Structure 1
Amino acid sequence: MTAPGLQAHHLAMSVRITLVAAARSSALLAERFDDDRPLDGAGWDEVRLAAHALVPLNAAELRYCSPSPRSRATAQALGFAPMAQPGLRDCDMGRWRGRTLAEVTAVEPGAVDCWLGDPRSAPHGGESLLAFIGRIGGWLDTRPAGDDGSVVAVAEPSVVRAALVYALNAPPHAYWSVDVRPLSTLVLTGRARRWSLCLQSAA
């Protein structure tokens, strides 16, 4: 049986999670589903330009990254020495993996419409949007950290989008309205199933 004081302390525990979107591995129109290509030249330039603002995040208690090559490279270039997390992998896009949206739309327009319109659908044979958001939410909810601890993770832009939708308890279709740019950050504070978006001051 937990003493009332300890129970209250446990309930008050919170964690600060900063998600950093990985630098790019291709131009926007050339992006491929579940892309496993390394950073391109523009991606490395992005990291160099943003390093002064992001390198201090390596002071976090725990440092993670998505298992993709560009997420690993981004985190390593920033000095995070991250642990790759399978739970932060990109959405499983089944037979669409490695193809662009334009390529898939050209041959399976009905399937693409279904995928965009119904978050429970997985016409590609992989993971539905609803399942993907739930998986990323599960990762957020199980982060170990000390009281008022901090976590940083470099992740695919899609992972950052899913984390925001989950943390705000927004409807799944809100996912399509979130634009995550390379090396942008999302800061969430709170604890399992009780997250708040933290807007940082420029000062």
Structure 2
Amino acid sequence: MLVTLIAAARGSTVFDTRFGDDRPLDTAGWQAVERAVPTLLPLAAAELRYCSPSPCSRQTGDALGLSPLAQPALRDCDMGRWQGLTLTEVTAREPRAVDVWLADPRSAPHGGEPLLSFVSRVGRWLDTRPVEGDGRVVAVTEPSVIRATMLYALKAPPQSYWRTEVHPLSVVSLSGRPGRWSLRLG
């Protein structure tokens, strides 16, 4: 099975990225998707097409011709009381809590979902795709979900999550089967 993940186009600048951002695509996001269509359109041939429930993911998937089905398991990490805030804002308000959150993947000082729970949730989704053999799955989701998926697939240490960058409209593919995934580049 081949699972291809596409990072949703951004609805805000990198510096304005908010935890659990549920804003729709802005003009720059729509323009970026339009430029990416020729390259990403072939992915619409996948047997199963999904997206996270966020407006940016849904709009990106629709613009790419995927007509994706929203999957709650592909939602961004639940950031509790930090929802809607930027990292800069949270760091100014709760610097010690941010330090704990970055150092301990089991912690949830924000009252939401710990990193390890988030990675496990996304991994369960990956392992339960109902496609056999050479089947193809495509999903449009937030960069954080793609980072969590790569961490799960590679069985990488949790701190690797903070050392992985996923840019808008980047594509990551995984091949394999439940419990045995390989990152596929190129």
**TM superposition score category, shorter chain reference:** over 0.9
Displacement of 1:146 in angstroms is 3.1
One-letter amino acid matched to 1:124: H
TM-score normalised by length of structure 2: 0.99
1:55-94 alignment, distance < 5 Å: 55-94=41-80
Displacement of 1:133 in angstroms is 0.5
- Find the residue that maps to 1:121 and give its secondary structure: coil
One-letter amino acid matched to 2:141: A
Of 174, 181, 198, the residue aligned with 2:167 is: 181
Runs of 4+ in 1 over 2 A off after TM superposition: none
Of 22, 32, 35, the residue aligned with 1:36 is: 22
1:80-159 alignment, distance < 5 Å: 80-159=66-145
RMSD: 0.6
Displacement of 1:63 in angstroms is 0.2
One-letter amino acid matched to 1:36: D
Instruction: Please identify, of 63-72 and 40-49, the stretch whose mean Cα deviation from structure 2 is larger.
Output: 40-49
Displacement of 1:83 in angstroms is 0.3
C-alpha distance after superposition, 1:156-185 (max 9, x if no partner): 010000001110000011000110000000
Identical positions, percent: 65
Displacement of 1:107 in angstroms is 0.8
Of 12, 16, 26, the residue aligned with 1:26 is: 12
Distance 1:102 1:199 in 2: 33
Displacement of 1:40 in angstroms is 1.1
Displacement of 1:147 in angstroms is 1.9
C-alpha distance after superposition, 1:9-55 (max 9, x if no partner): xxxxxx10000000001000100001100011111111011111101
Distance 1:53 1:146 in 2: 26
One-letter amino acid matched to 2:146: V
C-alpha distance after superposition, 1:81-138 (max 9, x if no partner): 1100000000000000000111111110000000011100000000000100111001
Distance 1:116 1:45 in 2: 34
Distance 1:173 1:197 in 2: 18
- Find the residue that maps to 2:9 and give its secondary structure: coil
5+ residue gaps, structure 1: 1-14
TM-score normalised by length of structure 1: 0.91
Of 30, 33, 52, the residue aligned with 2:38 is: 52
Distance 2:29 2:142 in 1: 13
Aligned pairs, number: 186
One-letter amino acid matched to 1:162: A
5+ residue gaps, structure 2: none
Show the counterpart of 1:12.
Answer: none
C-alpha distance after superposition, 1:53-86 (max 9, x if no partner): 1011000000000000000000000010110000
Matched, 1:170 2:165: no
